[in-house]
Amino acid sequence: MPPLPTPLWSSVSPEFTLPPGEVHVWRAELDVAAKTLAELRELLDEAERARADRFLRAEDRLRFTAARGLLRRLLGWYLQRPPQKIAFAYGPQGRPELADPAPGAGLSFNLSHSGEIVLIAFARDRAVGVDVEALRAPVDEAALARRYFRPEESARLAALPEAERRREFFRLWTRKEALLKAKGLGVSGIAVAPEADPEFLTMSLELEEGYAAALAYRRPEARLGLFRWV
Ligand X SMILES: CC(C)(COP(=O)(O)OP(=O)(O)OC[C@H]1O[C@@H](n2cnc3c(N)ncnc32)[C@H](O)[C@@H]1OP(=O)(O)O)[C@@H](O)C(=O)NCCC(=O)NCCS
Is 186 a binding residue for ligand X by CB under 6 A? The answer is: yes
DSSP state at residue 146: H
The verdict on 218 binding ligand X (CB under 6 A) reads no
Q: Does 151 bind ligand X (CB under 6 A)?
A: no
Regarding 153 and contact with ligand X (CB under 6 A), the answer is no
The helix (H) or strand (E) run that includes residue 49 is helix 46-54
Q: Which stretch binds ligand X (CB under 6 A): 75-83, 87-95, 153-161, 211-219?
A: 87-95
Q: Which of 65, 112, 154, 202 binds ligand X (CB under 6 A)?
A: 112
Q: Which is nearer to ligand X, 51 or 81 (CB)?
A: 51
Question: Using the rule CB under 6 A, is 115 a contact of ligand X?
Answer: no
Give yes or no for residue 64 binding ligand X (CB under 6 A): yes
Q: What is the DSSP string of 36-47?
A: HHHHHHHHS-HH
- Told to check if 204 binds ligand X by CB under 6 A, we report no
To ligand X, the closest distance from the beta carbon of 114 in angstroms equals 6
Which residues lie below 8 Å from residue 50, measured CB to CB, with a gap of 6+? none
- What letters, b where the CB count within 10 A reaches 16 and e where it falls short, cover 124-155? bbbbbbbbbbbbeeeeebeeebeebbeeebbe
- Which uninterrupted H or E stretch holds 212? strand 211-218
